[in-house]
Structure 1
């Protein structure tokens, strides 16, 4: 079973599991600010569940590629939409600031929350 490291937690999941669902089920806050209330609930249209992923995941599908090609995202930034990503092996996940998770400041890492972060 693959393991996911995020926000200081290590979570086991089935191979092929949806990254968004695994993180949310583990109690990991995936959305920043008002995106907690206003998001597409996993259909890949809003882009608020963007995370940096280190490890083996499915290739980006057309929804992931399309949404990340539109501002404020950039295809040049190494992010993925958690809702459109299947876990294929062990992962380390990092979340950035900004409504869409597109910012430069790290909110949480695989190991823990960022020291300068008091709220997500």
Structure 2
């Protein structure tokens, strides 16, 4: 890699009690990075039935605990109202921490801080 940027950035993935540390090339799509590492952002029912990362089905949602601010309009609305952000619409440009979401099909709203 040429230039002054890092060759990889850390991506921490939380899945229940499991924590996985990945090294991801900057500019990678979050959904693709997760799938290539064997970590699925999908529910069991949507692992095969999804839009393939085009931002249409809303089934690849994850909670971004540390990472980029939302840029895509859908991403901004999801963040604003407490829904998971679509991993297919997020670019890994720096260190990130994401949490895979337990869901039947689509992600659920975040619980208020008082309930956590």
Corresponding position of 1:21: 32
Contact kept, 8 Å, 2:67 with 2:94, in 1: the verdict is: yes
Deviation of 1:79 (Å):
2.4
Shift of 1:75: 4.3
Q: Which TM-score applies when normalising by structure 1?
A: 0.70
Structure 2 gaps of 5+ residues are 1-7, 112-116
Q: Which residue of 2 aligns with 1:90?
A: 95
Contact 2:9/2:23 (CA < 8 Å) preserved in 1?
Answer: yes
Summarize the alignment of residues 16-55 of structure 1 with structure 2, pairs less than 5 Å apart. Answer: 16-55=27-66
Larger fraction in helix:
2
Aligned position for 2:71: 60
Larger radius of gyration: 2
Q: Which runs of 5+ in 1 are unaligned?
A: 69-73, 106-120
- Cα shift at 1:90: 1.1
Q: Which runs of 4+ in 1 moved over 6 A?
A: none
Q: How many residues align?
A: 99
SS at match of 1:44: coil
Q: Over residues 23-43 of structure 1, what are the superposed CA-to-partner deviations in whole Å (9 max), with x where a residue is unaligned?
A: 000000221121112111100
Once superposed, what is the RMSD of the aligned Cα atoms? 2.3
